[in-house]
Amino acid sequence: MFEIDPNSQANLTEIATEHVHLDLAVDFAGTKLEGTAVYQLVALLPTQEVVLDTAHLKLGGARLKLIDGSRVPLEIDTNSIHEIYGTALRVLLPEPAAAGDKLTIEVDYETSPDSGAIQFLTPEQTLGKSHPYLFTQCEEIHARSLLPCQDSPSVKISYSANVRVPKPLTALMSAIATGSRTEGNSTVFSFEQQTTIPSYLIALVVGNLASAKISDRCAVWSEPENIDACAWEFAEMETILQTAEDVISPYLWGRYDLLVLPPSFPYGGMENPCLTFVTPTLLAGDRSLTDVIAHEIAHSWSGNLVTAKNWEHFWLNEGWTTFFERKIVSRLSGEDARQLSCVIGEADLLESIDFYGKDNPLTALVPKLDGVDPDDAYSTVPYDK
C-alpha cells in the first residue's frame, strides 16, 4: 500500500487517475458541496478495484461508464478507516481490468462541515459583511475531504469543473475559467486545467468578488471593498512574473491571477495554479511584502510543474522554490536583499529546529512520515535546510 506514498490509502501502483471532472453545487446553508466526480483512469497493473482517499465525505452511488454511454452500478466498500488518513473508498469493478485498460467511473458525494479542506465564512466574517464566502486549502492531504481522489503528489491529473453558486456570487478555481451560465437563482461557472497537477493544488473560492486587470495575463481578485488597494499593492505582478521567466523558463500556465482572501486564510500564500491565494496582511501600503509573490510565482515551476513524489520529499518543492524566489528578489531588489532573505531564512530554520528539538526526526531533510500527518511535520526546515 505504501510503496509510493505513506500518506495515501489509494492503490497507486495499480491505477492512475488521468482526468477528473467535477459537477458541484455550493450549499452555504448546509455548509457543504454536493455533486458528482467523474474519473478517467488507466490500469497500471491487473486489478479489480479502484481505491480512492476520502475524509469526512458522505458517499453516494458509483457507476462504471461504458463506451456506449450506458452506466453499470458498482459496489463500494468504506470499511477501511485510518485515524489520520481517512476512509479508503474501494470501488469494485465488475471484471478485472488489464494493464493499460482505460475506464471511466462516476462517484456521487457530498462534503461535510468537518471537511479539512473547506472553510465556510458567514457574511460577518467577510470585509463586505453582506455575503457568505468559502475557500479551500488542500495542501497537504486535505483534497480527500473535497473530493474522493488519489490524494498523493505522485499522481498528476488534469481537471475540469462546473460549479453552481447562488447569485450574485462568483466562483474561481485553480484553472482557466471557460464560461458561465445562469440557471434560475444560480450561476454555473466552468473551468478547465489542462496542465496536470497533484490533488493538493485543486482549489475553489466562492464569494462576492471583484477583479482588477494588471496585464494581459495577470489580474488581482478580492472583495470589492478593497480591490483598489489590492490592485495598487500588487501592480508589479507582471514584472515579477517576467523576472521569474528570465531566471527559470517561459511561464506555461496561461494566466497568473492573485486572490486576496479574508483574514481567516491561515497562510501567507498558497501557490494554486493560475490563482495564487494570499493573506490580506500583505497589504502593507508600500509594496514591501511582495517577496511572498515571488515565492508563489516560483512555485509555478518547482512544486506545480515538477512535484515531489510524496510529502517526505517536500523539500524538493519548497527548497527549490526558495532558491528561485531569492534569485528573483536579487534581480528585482539587488543582491543585498537576497542576502538578507538568506539570513532571515537561516534564523527561521534554527528556530524551527529549536522548537522541534535538534534530534527530532521531523527536522530531517527527508523525514519518515509513515503513520504521521504531514501537517505535523510542516516547518521552515524544507525551505532552508
Residues identified as active-site: 296, 383
User: Rounded to an integer, what distance in angstroms lies between the CA atom of residue 288 and that of residue 378?
Assistant: 26
The answer to whether residues 24 and 164 touch, using CB atoms and an 8 Å cutoff, is yes
Tell how many helices (H) and how many strands (E) occur in the chain.
6, 19
* C-alpha cell recorded at residue 385: 535546510
For residue 28, give Cα distances in angstroms to 32, 54, 131, 330.
Answer: 7, 21, 10, 45
- The single residue listed with the C-alpha cell 475557500 is 135
* C-alpha cell recorded at residue 235: 501592480
Query: From its phi and psi, is residue 265 left (phi > 0), alpha (psi between -120 and 50) or beta?
Result: beta
* C-alpha cell recorded at residue 208: 462576492
Query: From its phi and psi, is residue 303 left (phi > 0), alpha (psi between -120 and 50) or beta?
Result: left
Q: Residue 56: how many CB atoms within 10 A of its CB?
A: 18
Sheet holding 176-183: strands in order across? 47-54, 86-97, 71-82, 58-65, 102-110, 32-43, 15-27, 157-166, 186-197, 176-183
Q: Which of 285, 286, 207, 215 is nearest to 255 (CA)?
A: 215
Q: What is the 3-state secondary structure (H, E, C) of 144-208?
A: HHCCCECCCCCCCEEEEEEEEEECCCEEEECCEEEEEEEECCEEEEEEEEEEEECHHHCCEEEEC
For residue 240, give Cα distances in angstroms to 158, 304, 332.
Answer: 27, 18, 8
User: Rounded to an integer, what distance in angstroms lies between the CA atom of residue 204 and that of residue 212?
Assistant: 19
